[in-house]
Amino acid sequence: MKTLLAAALLILSTLVHTAAAAQSVDTAEQRGRLAEQRIQIEAARRAREEEERLQQAAEQARAQEEAAARSDAARAQELGQQPTLAGQERSTDRSASEAIPPGNTVPAGNVDLSRTLEQLRTLGELRDAGYVTAEEFDRIKRKILDSQ
């Protein structure tokens, strides 16, 4: 009888441990699923934030291009040129002979200086907007100034 009782206790003990082990496996699986869900949610949040950051950067770039186009149009108007329309190449992309109409004469040094200042201004805006690092800014600035 004692052996039968001992065997029954052993079987009962094994069943309790098996049930507890099964519960801990289920808990571990559940924790794993929750961790995976958190990782997916965090990845989706980061992707959303990156997309928003890229949209803001694109909007800033568009605004800067529009401001530069307005600036070019004002500069062209001062020189008696036809203002540049949106979508056309900016006057800084053209050669110096095309940028100045034949009737207006501006000393060549002023055109080069104006183009250099425009390039430096644009480069500074890119640095301020975070598109260019300080090291890149210094390297490109030296290159622009050395080309004079």
pLDDT attached to residue 31: 84
Cα 145 from Cα 148, distance rounded (Å): 6
Is the CB of residue 99 less than 8 Å from the CB of residue 111? yes
Residue with tokens 């540049």: 84
Work out the mean pLDDT of the chain and round it to a whole number.
75
Is the CB of residue 67 less than 8 Å from the CB of residue 73? no
High-pLDDT (> 70) share of the chain, %:
72
In order, the DSSP letters of 74-107 are: HHHHHTTPPPPPTTSPPGGGS-HHHHS-TT----
Q: Which long-range contacts link 24-29 to residues 24+ away (Cβ below 8 Å)?
A: none
pLDDT attached to residue 91: 40
pLDDT attached to residue 63: 87
Confidence of residue 23 (pLDDT cuts 50, 70, 90): low
Neighbours of 111 (CB within 10 A): 15
pLDDT attached to residue 88: 42
Is the CB of residue 87 less than 8 Å from the CB of residue 105? no
pLDDT in tens, 107-128: 555 777 888 889 899 999 999 9
Q: Please tell me the least confidently modeled range out of 4-13, 29-38, 125-134.
A: 4-13
